[in-house]
Chain A
Amino acid sequence: MTPLFYVIIGIAVDFQNRKDIRFCHKDVYTYYMNKMEKALGELGHMDELAVQDSPVHGMNAGAKLLCTVIYILVVMSFDKYDLSGLIPMLLWPVLLYQMSGISVRTCFYKLRIVLPLVMAVGLFNPFFDKEIMLHVGNVGVSGGVISMITLMLKGVFCLMASFLLVATTPFDNICAALRKAHFPAMLVTLLLLTYRYVGVMTEELAVMTDAYHLRAPGQKGIHVSAWGSFLGQLLLRSMDRAQELYASMLLRGYHQHFHYAPVKPFKGSDAVYLILSIAFFAIVKYVNVSELIGMFFVR
């Protein structure tokens, strides 16, 4: 009955444009979810993805981390006009997505907020670099367009690889691998807490936006006049909760080491994965695979 009641209130409140019904029962939030709460659900879903069972999930976190870092470095090292050389780099993440059972669509869906930002890099290149570099049929393609597409693809490939790492490895294990690689403890703790605090901040944002909208009928978003105090409150509340969360970690013995993260041992299969991946990156980097394939068809 209770969920039904809340759903009805939720619909009623929306229908009434939130003019007449005012409530502040905490449980209402559970049923009358706003976008922030959905975002929280998605954060939780990342944890679920990370503990699934697949050959990729079963690999050593250090090996995966190293491969991802090398992949990103290699992708970034391609020349801005080397579009054909870059494209085969897509094969590595796509293959691993297949092996891990995580669809590429999930990656793009989860990263839908950041992807446009990444894609925006190089957006102005076509205006500055107008020299025609190749022709597709009768249409000339300028260097600016090619460099724009290359930059976009670089961003997308790097995001795909990073997402794959986080989606197939619990975050604490990634931190444990970083510590094993002698990354400074302070830096790794900072990374871990940032990951934890994203959830805390989103939770507080969810509660605050709900409270705001229930007392601001008909408003879309948060009014500019309230931005200052809203952000200030959000920061203070998040800091309070973050402090308590960190205290809870300290009280249960956390001392910037990751004994609690079950790191999978480095096996022979991890070594094979590492060698094959690096070999693949080297081949794609130094041999233009696209050109090579093209040579079979065009003489």
Chain B
Amino acid sequence: MIEFDKVSFEYESGAPVIKDLSFRIEDGESVGLIGANGAGKSTIMKLLLGLVQGEGKILVDDIEVNKDNLGKIRKKLGFVLQNSDNQMFMPTVYEDMMFGPLNYMVSREDADKKVNEVLDRLGLQHLKNKYNHKISGGEKRMAAIATVLAMEPEAVLMDEPTSALDPYNRRVVINTIKELEQTKIITSHDLDMIMDTCERVILISGGAIVADGRAEDILSDKELLEAHHMELPLSLSREK
């Protein structure tokens, strides 16, 4: 369970990026965070991961996000960055996947087992010993997801997981996300992907929630989306 209770945050004083934000995400939910550029989606992720500290209370499984609990919180939350190059910093995919579990003191044998399980599940065994600087963008994105899953997080957070991918790789990533059993929070401008993967959508504008509800309801509301610099998903605009 993830809960934001009256959370506010500002980078510069007097210019709040997040204003009095409150919402709750239950275990196993798939939630899409959508909004125009600068709406505050990424900041919400950073607040949740404890990368920045704001006012108000953020709880993850009843543990408050603060300096003392960062280790526990981050073990529960896996974060897939928008730029996979920044996520994959070890020489090979295998070493990158081992990085997280070993840091959390999982034995080398158990970590290896976990890594192989994830590689099998995602069909990525062929990437195991590949060098990160030699794999394609799509492969790197999948490998980045694999590095996070190897840590067995309770919730997976993704920042624009389908950006800069070709249609085939985009579909592969979407199918992978759909199969994840964990709680998912996905920020994206790819509303078709959000439609495919999330049952709930939170629309953020100016650091506040303007709509929170079923994905079909919010993503089909043309007026609401356009009022906040967004458009209907392509699949829906074609139907209409």
Contacts and interface: CB of A to CB of B under 8 A. Distances in A.
B131 interface: yes
Interface string A227-265: 000000000000001001101111111110101101000
A244 B81 contact: yes
A213 interface: no
Nearest to A240: B86
Nearest to B129: A51
A252 B131 contact: no
Contacts of A7: none
Contacts of B100: 252-253
A255 B103 contact: yes
Contacts of A200: 86
B91 A51 contact: yes
B104 to A, nearest CB: 5
B169 interface: no
A260 B133 contact: no
Most buried by B among A44, A51, A245, A253: A253
Interface residues of A, number: 30
Nearest to B96: A252
Contacts of B148: 252
B98 A203 contact: no
A233 B148 CA distance: 31
Given A44-B134, A47-B131, A249-B89, A260 B79 contact: no
Contacts of A43: 133
Contact of A47 (B71, B91, B99): B91
Chain A interface, DSSP helix/strand/loop, else mixed? helix
A44 B103 contact: no
B74 A44 contact: no
B102 to A, nearest CB: 4
A90 B151 CA distance: 47
B204 to A, nearest CB: 21
Given A252-B99, A253-B75, A255-B103, A245 B89 contact: yes
Nearest to A51: B91
A176 B106 CA distance: 17
B89 A260 contact: no
A48 B133 CA distance: 10
Contacts of A83: none
B108 interface: yes
Given A244-B83, A250-B74, A259 B105 contact: yes
Interface string B52-78: 000000000000000000010011011
B104 A251 contact: no
A216 interface: no
Contacts of B103: 252-255, 257, 259-260
A150 B225 CA distance: 73
Given A44-B134, A47-B131, A259-B105, A248 B89 contact: yes
Given A255-B103, A262-B108, A248 B87 contact: yes
Nearest to B82: A244
A62 interface: no
B47 to A, nearest CB: 13
B105 A50 contact: no
Contacts of B91: 44, 47-48, 50-51, 170
Contacts of B74: 250-253
Given A47-B91, A48-B131, A247-B51, A252 B86 contact: no
Interface in B151-172: 151, 164
Contacts of B164: 26
A245 B196 CA distance: 29
Contacts of A249: 89, 99
B147 A252 contact: yes
A40 interface: yes
A51 B77 CA distance: 31
B110 interface: no
B205 to A, nearest CB: 25
Contacts of B90: 172
19 contacts: A40-B133, A41-B133, A44-B91, A44-B133, A44-B134, A47-B131, A47-B133, A241-B86, A244-B83, A248-B89, A251-B49, A251-B51, A251-B74, A252-B148, A253-B74, A254-B99, A255-B71, A260-B99, A262-B108
Interface of B: 49, 51, 71, 74-75, 77-79, 81, 83, 85-87, 89-92, 95, 98-100, 102-105, 108, 131, 133-134, 147-148, 151, 164
8 shortest A-B CB distances, which residue pairs?
A: A253-B103, A47-B91, A252-B100, A260-B102, A44-B133, A244-B86, A245-B86, A253-B104
Interface of A: 26, 40-41, 43-44, 47-48, 50-51, 170, 172, 196, 200, 203, 241, 244-245, 247-255, 257, 259-260, 262
Given A249-B99, A251-B49, A259-B102, 10 more contacts: A44-B91, A48-B131, A196-B89, A244-B81, A245-B89, A248-B89, A252-B151, A259-B105, A260-B98, A262-B108
